[in-house]
Structure 1
Amino acid sequence: MTETPDRMDAGRDVLIPAAHAGLAGRLHLTAPNAPVVIFAHGSGSSRHSTRNRYVASVLQEAGLGTLLPDLLTEEEAGDRQNVFDIPLLAQRLTLAEAWVHQHPEARSSPVGFFGASTGAGAALWAAAEPGTRVGAVVSRGGRPDLAAPRLEQVTAPTLLIVGSLDHQVLELNARAQTQLHCENRLEVVEGATHLFPERGTLEQAARLARDWFIRHLRSRPS
């Protein structure tokens, strides 16, 4: 893959109460009560994901806060069943959302979810939870089909970003889009495969995500 610049040079390490030991994360707040986007990483990935750190840096430059949490502890991640346990990952994402709103600088922050690969299934599952305050969802190379039982309950505006050469996932996203009743859009990045390693494709996906979050989170009352 092409090298992706890592521009996430600010923020702080945090521990989100969950499980037995808590979940490690990386928090970057741009301004008091500014929108915050919480990331749900794909299987086998973590808060150290180079691709998601890059996307986060693009959001930060636009004034959006970010939280990159590990949704599993190291011990839990060693069990492959947990990696694909979408309800468990969604529960942890919901806990992360609640933690953000308990932060003194983010109590009124509009929150969005950004999910990659299997993480997109968790993001959409969590977005369908009754009483959720999530204001927008973006899926990059995602598996929304993993949240199929709940797609009809998602109310947050949802953007699905898929590479044109990621044929199977593109088909899954097109099918999932027909199940969404919220405002939604499917954006196809030409020439991109599943992980968006081709030159310029990850940058394009990041810009699409940035614009979606700005449109839907900054318009929400804090």
Structure 2
Amino acid sequence: MMPEISEMVSVPAGHVTLGGDFFVPAQARAMVLSAHGIDSSRHSTRTRSVAAELRAAGLGTLALDLLSEHEDRGDAVTAQQPFDVELLGRRVVAGADWLKIQPDSRALPIVLCGTGTEAAAVLQAAAELPDRVLSAVVWGGRPDLAGAALGRIQVPVLLIAGGRDPGVQRLTEDAAQQLGAPHSVRVVPEATRLFQEPGTLEQVVAMIKEWCDDRLSAR
């Protein structure tokens, strides 16, 4: 049995280096690459809680910042960086490429995951990685911002929306209609966009675990 891996890592992405938290449980079945740094933080209690639940289900995690430390300071030069979805998508691709060269994760299938603006970046990356990722999951985000990339995605996609945020739910359903790949739209009835209501984040995690189980069983 391989020992559990827990490391803070640096991931090269073009001209920048991205920070990440890399965890691989013993007997991991897959890796979940979760994108952060704009609408979510890899250091938040919520992010760490979700990652812990996924690891308990046998899923490794790479929580990856899509902004470098310099960009995250938000100076005038990089102020528009958070909204460059194509750039952020390339950085998700860099994270997936990094996982595929690490001895502890290279043999494991990858599921991309993101919320907020990061959701669009995840879908951009999924369109570029048809043979290197198992699936993509987005929740509480703006999948519509992925634009034309939606029609190029070939891997299965799970989209989760809050039932008390009709605007985002509508955008999520509109994005789903542009997908040619197998997909599912799930709604958490009591949730707003950030899934801060009691019990709603737990429902999201349960949906992600079920989705990953189904995709792994179908391989």
TM-score (norm: length of structure 2): 0.90
Contact kept, 8 Å, 1:111 with 1:217, in 2: the verdict is no
Q: Distance in 2 between matches of 1:21 and 1:171?
A: 35
- 1:114-161 CA deviation, whole Å, 9 max, x = no partner? 111111100000000155411111111021111121101111111111
Find the counterpart in structure 2 of residue 143 from structure 1: 142
Q: CA deviation at 1:74?
A: 1.8
Contact kept, 8 Å, 1:35 with 1:218, in 2: the verdict is no
Question: Which amino acid letter does the alignment assign opposite residue 181 of structure 2?
Answer: C
Q: CA deviation at 1:82?
A: 0.8
> Percent identity at matched positions?
43
Find the counterpart in structure 2 of residue 93 from structure 1: 92
Find the counterpart in structure 2 of residue 5 from structure 1: none
Q: CA deviation at 1:113?
A: 0.4
Q: Which has the higher contact order (CA 8 A, sep 6+)?
A: 1
Contact kept, 8 Å, 2:20 with 2:65, in 1: the verdict is yes
- 1:82-140 CA deviation, whole Å, 9 max, x = no partner? 11111111111101101101001112110010111111100000000155411111111
Q: 1:22 is paired with a residue of what secondary structure? A: strand
Q: 1:63 aligns with which of 58, 77, 81?
A: 58
Contact kept, 8 Å, 1:42 with 1:118, in 2: the verdict is no
Find the counterpart in structure 2 of residue 159 from structure 1: 158
Matched, 1:46 2:41: yes
Aligned residues: 211
Q: How has the CA–CA distance of structure 1 residues 169 and 163 changed in structure 2, closer, same or farther, with 3 Å as cutoff?
A: same
Contact kept, 8 Å, 1:115 with 1:138, in 2: the verdict is yes
Question: Which amino acid letter does the alignment assign opposite residue 211 of structure 2?
Answer: W
Contact kept, 8 Å, 1:136 with 1:217, in 2: the verdict is no
Contact kept, 8 Å, 1:162 with 1:188, in 2: the verdict is yes
Higher strand share: 2
Misfit runs of 4+, over 4 Å: none
Q: Distance in 2 between matches of 1:149 and 1:126?
A: 12
TM-score (norm: length of structure 1): 0.89
**C-alpha root-mean-square deviation of aligned residues, in Å?**
1.7
Alignment gaps of 5+ in structure 2: none
Question: Which amino acid letter does the alignment assign opposite residue 120 of structure 2?
Answer: G
Q: Distance in 1 between matches of 2:16 and 2:125?
A: 22
Q: Distance in 2 between matches of 1:142 and 1:87?
A: 16
